[in-house]
């Protein structure tokens, strides 16, 4: 038996005004991606996009999106993503673009990457803090995620054998 | 570890705009950017060549690059839009103050001259009009031998559908004669939202129709990808799986090495120091990877090899 393979793209929505991120929802992003694929690749792209494509996860606070694409045509769909310039939601147009951070074969590898990426972001935020309270919050968040990371590692050891199945493009730095 | 570079951010007088542009580029993971001053001489003679604003005047605190601990490296670049051969003055002292020098020829004759004679680093391919001429093999190969690279910029294609067609058409035109070697892709972004991440830009490298032998210098471009994808979609229906021949490692090597060779070429043009370079014997992971003149493992960039040939 061969299972259905897909690729998960971990994308970051970058906007000029961060407060407008909260307006985003799954459907708006799916519609924007489908429309762009149709614009760039025509009917063929639109047809491919209608089969295995879905938005798996959206965090409106950090602007992180997981897109699921069928493995056989994910490059085609991915090539249309840079041409997204705005996402329309609730009658408003949000000027933004999607920056692809990671391509993974399973959601789990993407999640692991995301945890690492977010930790990195917290580290970057730490020197930029203006007052003591913010600093406290960020360092607290950092401590929290190391705790999660620790348990995650223990968990990883258990599931080491499963990792062989995972396919992950060497796409991250 | 790859070092991504974006050698073309359009200079605007707006200081806050430029700052957000740099911050976004750093956030996306570009280690080196060049601020581009476009100089377009018209019929009247002796126009002022712009002087670059020193970067510490523009922005007091350079943002740290994503994934690294160093601040972003900013260069200055001049692009001369040529419609007449008198527009490029090879010995002008004004050119000295720029790190990179680029020309954008508009006629076939000037293109030939730019490839074969002019002492420049980059030749820009116009994206705002259909090119009135074909790229001939001879000048393109000549440029490749001299270490001059071609540049295609993508932000116009993001903005407008007509310009997208022109860009794709011109890129295909170029692709056919240079086979994907010696090409860099830059953003030419004026606003922060016109930049794109490095992985998005290079995502489709294996779909190009070029031959495997030149693979290591390939800078596969997003545009070409969408260009070639049409072709590939058509082909993959016929011979599925044949086209995806290039390994990820090779292509990633290619993404940064062409840009690095441009910087090296520019350095060589200005001083002699680009010819001589030092290599650190033990690999020190964090510090050394960024410097453009720094040879990492793998093949040397085109310009380096070329210079070695010259000195013999």
- pLDDT tens-place string over residues B210-234: 333 333 333 343 344 444 444 434 3
Measure Cα distances from B301 to A50, B136, B141, B231, B252 in Å: 42, 24, 16, 30, 13
Residue with tokens 């991606």: A33
Encode pLDDT of B102-134 as tens digits.
Answer: 888 888 888 888 888 888 888 888 777 777 777
The residue-averaged pLDDT of B150-174 equals: 81
Encode pLDDT of A1-37 as tens digits.
Answer: 788 888 998 998 888 877 888 888 888 889 889 998 8
pLDDT tier at B76 (50, 70, 90 boundaries)?
Answer: confident
Q: A71 — phi, psi (to 5°)?
A: -65, -35
**How large is the C-alpha radius of gyration of chain B?**
19
Measure Cα distances from B108 to A96, B112, B246 in Å: 39, 6, 34
Q: A151 — phi, psi (to 5°)?
A: -65, -35
Cα distance between residue A109 and residue A47, in whole Å: 28
Cα distance between residue A146 and residue A141, in whole Å: 9
The residue-averaged pLDDT of B55-65 equals: 74
**Encoded tokens for A71:** 């493995």
Is residue B128 within 8 Å of residue B166, measured between CB atoms? yes
Weakest-pLDDT range from A102-111, A158-167, B134-143: A158-167
**DSSP per residue, A120-156:** HHHHHHGGG--SHHHHHHHHHHHHHHHHHHHHHHHHH
Burial class (CB in 10 A: 0-12, 13-18, 19+), B28: buried
Q: Which of B245, B259, B251 is nearest to B290 (CA)?
A: B259
Q: Residue B119: its pLDDT value, please?
A: 82
CA A168 to chain B, closest CA, distance in angstroms equals 12
Q: Chain B residue closest to A44 (CA)? A: B233
Cβ–Cβ of A97/B29 closer than 8 Å? no
Q: Chain B residue closest to A125 (CA)? A: B64
Higher-pLDDT residue of B117 and A146 is: B117
pLDDT tier at B48 (50, 70, 90 boundaries)?
Answer: low
Is residue A112 within 8 Å of residue A149, measured between CB atoms? no
Q: With a cut of 60, say whether residue A154 has pLDDT above it.
A: no
Residues in A whose CB is inside 8 Å of some CB of B read: 14, 16, 39-41, 44, 75-76, 78-83, 85, 95-101, 103, 120, 124, 169-171, 173
- Other CB atoms closer than 10 Å to residue B285's CB: what's the count? 7
Cα distance between residue A39 and residue A32, in whole Å: 10
Cα distance between residue A107 and residue A92, in whole Å: 31
Q: With a cut of 70, say whether residue B47 has pLDDT above it.
A: no
Q: Which of B71, B167, B200, B231 to mutate to test the interface with A (most CBs of A within 10 A)?
A: B200
Is residue A139 within 8 Å of residue A147, measured between CB atoms? no
Q: Which of B17, B199, B225 to mutate to test the interface with A (most CBs of A within 10 A)?
A: B199
pTM of the shown model: 0.71
pLDDT tier at B2 (50, 70, 90 boundaries)?
Answer: low
ipTM higher than the 0.95 cut = no
Q: Residue A124: its pLDDT value, please?
A: 82
Cβ–Cβ of B29/A14 closer than 8 Å? no
- A41 chain-B contacts, CB cut-off 8 A: 226, 229-230, 233
Cβ–Cβ of A173/B2 closer than 8 Å? yes
Percent of chain B with pLDDT over 70: 64
Is residue A10 within 8 Å of residue A16, measured between CB atoms? no
Is residue B229 within 8 Å of residue B268, measured between CB atoms? no
Encode pLDDT of B19-45 as tens digits.
Answer: 888 888 888 888 888 888 888 776 555
Q: Characterize B254-263 residue by residue with b for buried, 16 or more Cβ atoms within 10 angstroms of its Cβ, and e for exposed.
A: bbbbbbbbbb
Cα distance between residue A60 and residue A21, in whole Å: 6
Q: Residue B232: its pLDDT value, please?
A: 39
- A124 chain-B contacts, CB cut-off 8 A: 64, 66
Q: Residue B23: its pLDDT value, please?
A: 85
Q: With a cut of 70, say whether residue B296 has pLDDT above it.
A: no
Residues in B whose CB is inside 8 Å of some CB of A read: 1-2, 20, 24, 27-29, 64, 66-67, 154, 157-159, 161, 192-193, 195-197, 199-201, 203-204, 206-207, 222, 225-226, 229-230, 233, 248-249, 252
Q: With a cut of 50, say whether residue B12 has pLDDT above it.
A: yes
Q: Residue A14: its pLDDT value, please?
A: 87
Encode pLDDT of A68-79 as tens digits.
Answer: 999 888 888 888
The residue-averaged pLDDT of A101-123 equals: 87
Is residue B156 within 8 Å of residue B127, measured between CB atoms? yes
Cβ–Cβ of A100/B201 closer than 8 Å? no
Residues near B2 by Cβ (< 8 Å), separated by ≥ 6?
Answer: A173, B252, B253, B255, B256
CA B242 to chain A, closest CA, distance in angstroms equals 13
Cβ–Cβ of A82/B20 closer than 8 Å? no
**Encoded tokens for A167:** 């396919």
Percent of chain A with pLDDT over 90: 3
């Amino acid at each position: 038996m061969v299972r259905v393979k897909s690729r998960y793209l971990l994308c970051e929505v970058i906007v000029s005004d961060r407060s407008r991120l909260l307006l985003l929802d799954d459907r708006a992003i799916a519609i924007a991606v489908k429309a762009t694929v149709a614009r760039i690749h025509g009917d063929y792209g639109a047809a491919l996009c209608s089969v295995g494509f879905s938005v798996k996860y959206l965090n409106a606070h950090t602007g992180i999106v997981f897109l699921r694409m069928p493995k056989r045509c994910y490059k085609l769909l991915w090539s249309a993503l840079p041409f997204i310039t705005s996402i329309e939601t609730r009658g408003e147009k949000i000027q933004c673009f999607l920056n692809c951070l990671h391509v993974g074969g399973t959601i789990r590898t993407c999640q692991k990457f995301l945890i690492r990426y977010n930790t990195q972001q917290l580290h970057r935020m730490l020197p930029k803090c203006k007052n003591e309270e913010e600093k406290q919050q960020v360092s607290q968040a950092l401590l929290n995620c190391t705790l999660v990371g620790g348990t995650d590692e223990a968990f990883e050891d258990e599931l080491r054998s499963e990792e062989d199945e995972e396919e992950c493009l060497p796409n991250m730095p | 570890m790859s070092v991504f570079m974006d050698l073309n951010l359009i200079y605007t007088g707006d200081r806050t705009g430029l700052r957000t542009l740099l911050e976004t580029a750093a956030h996306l993971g570009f280690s080196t950017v060049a601020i581009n001053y476009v100089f377009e001489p018209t019929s009247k003679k002796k126009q002022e060549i712009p002087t670059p604003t020193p970067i510490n005047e523009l922005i007091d605190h350079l943002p740290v690059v994503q994934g690294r601990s160093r601040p972003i490296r900013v260069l200055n670049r001049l692009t001369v839009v040529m419609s007449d051969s008198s527009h490029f003055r090879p010995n002008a002292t004004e050119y000295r103050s720029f790190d990179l020098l680029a020309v954008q020829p508009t006629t076939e004759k000037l293109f030939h001259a730019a490839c074969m004679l002019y002492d420049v680093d980059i030749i820009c391919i116009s994206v705002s009009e259909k090119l009135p001429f074909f790229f001939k093999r001879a000048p393109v190969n000549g440029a490749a031998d001299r270490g001059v690279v071609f540049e295609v910029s993508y932000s116009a294609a993001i903005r407008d559908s007509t310009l997208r067609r022109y860009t794709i058409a011109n890129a295909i035109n170029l692709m056919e004669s240079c086979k994907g070697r010696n090409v860099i892709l830059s953003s030419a972004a004026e606003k922060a939202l016109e930049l794109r991440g490095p992985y998005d830009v290079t995502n489709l490298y294996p779909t190009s129709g070029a031959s495997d032998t030149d693979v290591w210098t390939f800078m596969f471009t997003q545009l070409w990808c969408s260009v070639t994808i049409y072709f590939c979609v058509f082909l993959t229906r016929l011979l599925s799986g044949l086209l995806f021949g290039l390994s990820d490692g090779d292509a990633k090597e290619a993404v940064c090495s062409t840009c690095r060779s441009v910087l090296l070429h520019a350095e060589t043009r200005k001083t002699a120091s680009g010819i001589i370079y030092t290599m650190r014997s033990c690999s020190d992971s964090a510090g050394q990877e960024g410097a453009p003149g720094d040879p990492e493992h793998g093949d040397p960039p085109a310009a380096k090899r070329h210079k070695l040939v010259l000195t013999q």
